[in-house]
Amino acid sequence: MSLVGFKAVHFSGIDAQDVEAPGFKGVEVRWLITKDDDATNFAMRLFKIKPGGRSAQHSHSWEHEVYVLEGQGLVFCEDDETRIEPGYVVFIPPDVPHYFRNVGDEPLRFLCLIPYKK
Amino acid sequence: MSLVGFKAVHFSGIDAQDVEAPGFKGVEVRWLITKDDDATNFAMRLFKIKPGGRSAQHSHSWEHEVYVLEGQGLVFCEDDETRIEPGYVVFIPPDVPHYFRNVGDEPLRFLCLIPYKK
């Protein structure tokens, strides 16, 4: 029986999109679990940042929960940069300026989850 | 400056706890991001299931968002078992019987995120 709502797929089967926003360079995102899956509380995204790439410094009213899968990076939050590598767990609170940078020779890959507003 | 709420740590720095619930065998959990970090919407946990280990078949009113990091497993949801391996993304809807089993020779490691009730 096929169950509506259950999903188990390899991430590579989910389309990647380039992030075209100002200040983003070499950043690609896959929306792994979203409202389209009936996930009404939070979304799971997978980011890949190419060597030399980065996200723009920005802030917003929701938090990020991050787990680093591959690569070497820096996460900037308010006025500190912290080195991150595979196995790192990052929590970025709401309304705090932040960005991610790849500082290695391989892609930086991390999960980044965000809440849906109620 | 140290920022209240921002967190960036390797998962190995967070304590692991054995899951002692009935029907769980060889299962360990680390609560990576929780309400104690001011994460009010959802929690990030890291599970490790030893070879031969499993979680109990159970169901509850909240969903799971899962990303498989290491190992070979099966996820059961309602009446289907699906093979999972690194890079697999799993969404388990609320109120559906489910379990995880390690069917490989190495630990099965996966992130499993759950919402906080409002």
CA dihedral A39, A77, B88, B20 (to 10 degrees): -80
Residues A73/A41, Cβ–Cβ less than 8 Å: no
Q: Which pLDDT does position A4 carry in this prediction? A: 66
- pLDDT, tens only, B91-113: 999 999 999 999 999 999 999 99
Using a CB–CB cutoff of 8 Å, tell me whether A113 touches chain B: yes
pTM comes to: 0.96
Interface of B with A in 83-112 (CB under 8 A): 84-85, 87-93, 96, 111
Above 0.90 for ipTM, yes or no? yes
Nearest chain B Cα distance for residue A22, angstroms: 25
Q: Are A70 and A85 in contact (CB under 8 A)?
A: no
**CA-to-CA distance for A21 and A28, rounded, in angstroms?**
11
Do residue B91 and residue A33 have CB atoms under 8 angstroms apart?
yes
- pLDDT surpassing 80 at residue B72: yes
The arithmetic mean of pLDDT across residues B42-70, rounded, is 97
Q: Inform me whether the pLDDT recorded for B1 exceeds 80.
A: no
Q: How many residues does chain B have?
A: 118
Which pLDDT value is given to residue A1? 43
Choose from B40, B47, B75, B89 for mutation: most chain A CBs within 10 A: B89
User: Which residues of A are less than 8 Å from B41 in CB distance?
Assistant: 41-42, 63, 115
pLDDT tens column, B4-36: 689 999 999 999 999 999 999 999 999 999 999
For the CA atoms of B79, B24, B27, B84, what is the dihedral angle to 10 degrees? -10
Question: Could you tell me how many CB contacts below 8 A there are between chain A and chain B?
Answer: 139
| pLDDT less than 70: residues of chain A | 1-4, 118
**Average pLDDT score over residue span B75-96:** 94
Whether pLDDT at B118 is above 70: no
| Those residues with Cβ within 8 angstroms of residue B20's Cβ, 6 or more apart along the chain or in another chain | none
